[in-house]
Amino acid sequence: MKVASRNTTLYLRPTAFIDAPFGYDSQFMRLAGGMQFFSAWEAIAVEGGRRAEQWLIPIDRIDDWVATLTPGQGERARAMIARATSPRAPLQLGARTVRLDQPQVMGILNTTPDSLSGGNAALGEPAALAAQGISMAGDGAAIIDAGGESTRPSATTVWEEDEKARVIPVIERLASAGTAISLDTRKAAVMQAGLAAGAHIINDVSALLFDDRSLEVMAASTAPIVLMHFPGTPQDPHTHGGYADPLIEVYDWLETRIAAVVAAGIARERLIVDPGIGFGKGVGDNLAILNGLALFHTLGLPLLIGASRKRMIGALSGEAPADQRLGGSLALALKAADQGAQLIRVHDVLETVQALKIWRGLRDAALSPS
């Protein structure tokens, strides 16, 4: 059995997934209380910010391996194991309960003229925009994510009053229809107004760093919060000079940010993490993060993935424009589901829900003893 150096920082990634656990007593663990089971841990040893070594440890030998570690390493390893395998509590969003033991779709409702997919034809018409959100919910979206400011590369920052004027009337209408609502914003005043209007989740691509008042506003609420990784400044989350190891660096950033938010008085149980696919990351960076996605479960929080129509799909498919990236978006959604992501944020709700129903059918069949 490989023994870790005393000077390394260790990471444990669930791997060696199996279709079903039957007949494999003591040889598997369940991922985050979901529908995935794995039979090994990938141990990654990092020194000086770079991987020094990595190896596979079968589930039935993990306790023996942890016993070889230093006290600090062992404590970290046991915490990662416990967090990766603990069930994720359902989200209680108004009258709706969203279970996190299976992947759920979050539908994107842009109220902006300059989103990744272009302007919404119903801009300036709250009733029509809300009807789009209600339609997405009817198509199977568990949550509608409404946003009034584009955060695509080179997008212009929107004045908070204009952002509120765009999105709050839509949230009010969605709330009156009983929809579970996420508000995509970086601004404290918009968060405050959105929560008052009926939003249930705050989805902040700046992880509460863009606005100095965001921590205070969210500490005074009970709403769940999505903390997304970005490598640049809160004002420009797309700038970055490159990664030595994107998977490890994004993980470390999120781990540090979670600790800071909790220290500011926000309960850890309210947090959701998002590795920020496409934000200050090249194609190779995004692929490395998606391939290693199961590592993020060792943070012990629900995992949100937003890769729908991202530029990486165009880069891998002959520069397909945003409105021709459905196939790639579905491929990434299924990759996220296989890796245990609980929330998958998409533009194309109907198609993604259908793909996940087929995925669920395959999982149900595998988990039905013959």
Distance between CA atoms of 100 and 122, rounded to whole angstroms?
32
Distance CA 2, CA 43 (A): 10
Q: What's the pTM value of the predicted model, to 2 decimals? A: 0.94
According to DSSP, the β-strands at 104-110 and 143-147 are: parallel
Residue 232 sits at the vertex; the CA angle it makes with 227 and 233, to the nearest 5 degrees, is 80
> Token match 């990784």: residue?
229
Q: Where are the beta strands (DSSP E) in the chain?
A: 9-18, 29-30, 37-47, 50-58, 91-93, 96-98, 104-110, 143-147, 181-184, 201-204, 225-228, 271-274, 304-305, 343-346
pLDDT digits (tens, 9 = 90+) for 259-277: 999 999 999 999 999 999 9
Residue 158: pLDDT band with limits 50, 70, 90: confident
- How many other CB atoms are there within 10 angstroms of residue 24's CB atom? 13
CB 2, CB 42: distance < 8 Å: no
> So what's the pLDDT on residue 28?
98
Structure tokens at 92: 């209680």
**pLDDT the model gives residue 234:** 77
Element (H, E) at 167: helix 160-176
Distance CA 194, CA 192 (A): 5
Name every residue whose Cβ is closer than 8 Å to that of residue 119 and which is 6 or more positions away in sequence.
112, 113
Catalytic machinery residues: 310, 345
Indicate the range of 78-82, 168-172, 230-234 predicted with least confidence: 230-234
Domains detected in the chain: 9-85 (no CATH), 91-366 (3.20.20.20)
User: pLDDT-derived band of residue 81, with 50, 70 and 90 as boundaries?
Assistant: very high
**Whole-angstrom distance, CA of residue 72 vs CA of residue 58:** 22
Percent of the chain with pLDDT over 70: 95
Contact indicator for 326, 351 with CB cutoff of 8 Å:
yes
Q: How far apart are CA 254 and CA 228, in angstroms?
A: 8
Cα distances (Å, whole numbers) of residue 14 to 37, 80, 251, 287 = 9, 10, 14, 17
Rounded average pLDDT over 49-64? 94
